[in-house]
Amino acid sequence: MGRKRASTNVSAGYPSAGGRSDRRHPFGGDVGQRSHFERDRDSILYTSAFRRLAGVTQVVAPAEGQVFHNRLTHTLEVAQIAQRLAEYLSREQGELATTCGGIDPSVVEAGALAHDLGHPPFGHIAETTLNELVLDSGEVDGYEGNAQSFRIVTKLSIRRDEHPGLNLTRATLDATLKYPQVQEPGLERRQKHRKWGAYSTERDDFQFARAAHQTNDIFKSLEAEIMDWADDIAYSVHDTEDFYRAGLIPLDRLATNPDAVEEFMEAVFQRWEEEERELPFERSELEHSFRELCAAIPITEPYDGRRAQRAALRTFTSDFIGRYVQATSIDPDGTRGALLHQEEEHLMQITMLKELTWQFVIKSSALASQQFGQERAVKELFGIFLDAVSSDKSTRWSRLPEKNREDMSMLHERYGFAIPRAEIVRVAADAIAGMTDQQAMRMYHRFLGVSPGSALDSIIV
pLDDT for 293-352, tens place per residue? Answer: 999 998 999 998 899 999 988 898 999 999 999 999 999 887 667 899 999 999 999 999
- Residues forming a β-bridge with 416: none
pLDDT at 207 (0 to 100) = 94
Q: DSSP per residue over 105-142, as a string?
A: HHHHHHHHHHTTTTPPTTTHHHHHHHHHHHHHTT-TT-
pLDDT at 189 over 60: no
Q: In which band, very low, low, confident or very high, does the pLDDT at 188 lie, cut at 50, 70 and 90?
A: low
Domain boundaries, the chain: 36-209, 249-363, 366-448
Give the highest mean pLDDT range of 159-168, 235-244, 372-381: 372-381
Phi, psi (rounded to 5 degrees) for 158? -125, 125
CB-based contact 375:352 (threshold 8 Å) = no
pLDDT at 449 (0 to 100) = 84
CATH fold, domain 36-209, is Hypothetical protein af1432 (1.10.3210)
Residue 65 to residues 314, 321, 363: CA-CA distances in angstroms? Answer: 19, 24, 20
Q: Which residues contact 138 (CB under 8 A, 6 or more apart)?
A: 421, 422, 425
CB-based contact 395:83 (threshold 8 Å) = no
Q: Which residues contact 216 (CB under 8 A, 6 or more apart)?
A: none
**What is the pLDDT averaged over residues 173-183?**
93
pLDDT at 192 (0 to 100) = 54
- Judged on CB neighbours under 10 Å (0-12, 13-18, 19+), 455 is exposed
Q: Which residues contact 317 (CB under 8 A, 6 or more apart)?
A: 237, 238, 241
pLDDT at 15 (0 to 100) = 34
Q: How many CB atoms lie within 10 A of CB 361?
A: 19
Which of 228, 246, 260, 236 shows the shortest CA–CA distance to 316?
236
Tell me the whole-structure pTM to 2 decimals. Answer: 0.90
* Distance between CA atoms of residues 20 and 40, nearest Å: 12
Q: Which residues contact 148 (CB under 8 A, 6 or more apart)?
A: 117, 118, 119, 120, 429, 433
Helix (H) or strand (E) holding 341: strand 340-341
Q: How many CB atoms lie within 10 A of CB 297?
A: 20
